[in-house]
Structure 1
């Protein structure tokens, strides 16, 4: 009987391979959102009078204005504080850029769209106000109604 128990222990221990490390369970980080907008996906901030937009993407912040070359600043990540999210960076000439998004509905004043986020972009001493939504939602949106 002892031989069978001993043999069982040897077989059980032999089945354990000490060379393979135990892999911990992978937990996915929860998606960070402001209103309905995922903050880890590309976001477009836009305004009128004059027309401008800022693309917020992992590769950088790209400011585009009519009749000007796009300017790119590094995306240093964001700070979230309740219903407000803030990105800060600097343009190539070291002019500071600060983008503040607030989780409140917004109208751009020219279209019949309702955007999920209000926006303020500060470039040096200039302040631009507008609206924002995910690039994906904007690609699906019609000319009127909610951008979702």
Structure 2
């Protein structure tokens, strides 16, 4: 009986002395992905002509739209940046695969005198579309000619 009590005491003491190690903290988020000066963590728009189409990368969704085409939405994953390209891949609510490849090469849409900082290749279902891309803010603030870049905010 004395041996059993001694064994139980040893087990209890060893269990108490083995403190649990705290779980490692989650990794800190890395810097926002940037491609050709475009912050990919902010809204980005890719667009093309013949046929007219656009994809909005809102930060939470990829929203495809086109002339005479139904709008399709897919959750937006974090950009996978490799060198001078970034990709986003998902599946729309309608079940179509949606893939966006952005490349850090200057691009002209062929319809205006604008130059965009990114070229875009969009694959939706079996269709492949080519066009240009920039931050949504830059597209909205640029006229019909010149480089599509975000305007500097005035100092307050």
TM-score where L is the length of structure 1: 0.78
What displacement does 1:28 show?
Answer: 8.2
Count of residue pairs brought into register by the alignment: 122
Measure the CA separation in 2 of the matches of 1:58 and 1:31: 12
What displacement does 1:95 show?
Answer: 1.3
What displacement does 1:123 show?
Answer: 1.0
Change (3 A) 1:48 1:138: same
Partner of 1:87: 88
Q: How does 1:107-118 map to 2 (within 5 A)?
A: 107-118=108-119
- Higher mean alpha-carbon deviation, 90-99 vs 108-117, is at 90-99
Unaligned runs of 5+ in 1: 1-26
Measure the CA separation in 1 of the matches of 2:97 and 2:41: 22
Change (3 A) 1:29 1:78: closer
Unaligned runs of 5+ in 2: 1-27, 150-156
8 Å Cα contact 2:33-2:79 kept in structure 1: no
TM-score where L is the length of structure 2: 0.74
Query: Does the residue aligned with 2:108 lie in a helix, a strand or coil?
Result: coil
Please give the root-mean-square deviation of Cα atoms over the aligned residues, in Å.
1.4
Partner of 1:3: none
What displacement does 1:138 show?
Answer: 0.7
Give CA deviations for 1:65-100 in whole Å, capped at 9, x if unaligned: 113332111112221100000000011122111100
